[in-house]
Amino acid sequence: MPKKMTDRLRKWMTNKMELPPDVLMDLPRVTIIGQIHIYIENHKGLLAFSDRELRLLLKQGQLLIKGKSFVIKTILPEEILLEGRIEEVLYLKQ
């Protein structure tokens, strides 16, 4: 099935079944609590980590988080919980 048709079908199913878009469209879910916690679900892997930067691979593009004193509190195959002072969250297209 062509990619355009598949994308349209996913969007239609999301609307008709009242499911969250991240479930059917393979999008990341990002939950930020103040400037101290960020929880990302549905990523495709950790690309880089330091105490000032976290970079995650997404299905389409990357997610870059910048800040200070970063510590990974939880890391699972498609989920990550980061603590520290979050200053920027950027979506990078490939």
Give the residue from 28, 53, 54, 43 showing the smallest Cα distance to 76. Answer: 43
Q: In what order do the strands lie in the sheet with 62-76?
A: 29-33, 37-41, 79-92, 62-76, 53-57, 45-49
Whether 20 maps to a domain, the answer reads no
Residue % of the chain over a pLDDT of 70: 79
Whether 11 maps to a domain, the answer reads no
pLDDT surpassing 70 at residue 89:
yes
How many folded domains does the chain comprise? 1
* pLDDT reported for residue 25: 63
* pLDDT reported for residue 72: 97
Q: How far apart are the C-alpha atoms of 91 and 74, rounded to whole Å?
A: 21
Whether 19 maps to a domain, the answer reads no
CATH code for the domain of 38: 2.60.40.2000
Whether 78 maps to a domain, the answer reads yes
Whether 73 maps to a domain, the answer reads yes
Structure-token pair, residue 33: 């609590």
23 pLDDT tier (thresholds 50, 70, 90): low
* 89 strand-pairing partners: 65
Whether 52 maps to a domain, the answer reads yes
9 pLDDT tier (thresholds 50, 70, 90): confident
Whether 16 maps to a domain, the answer reads no
Pairing of β 62-76 and β 53-57: antiparallel
Q: What residues make up the domain containing 46?
A: 26-92
> 25 versus 52: which is more confidently predicted?
52
| Contact status, residue 46 vs residue 80, Cβ threshold 8 Å | yes
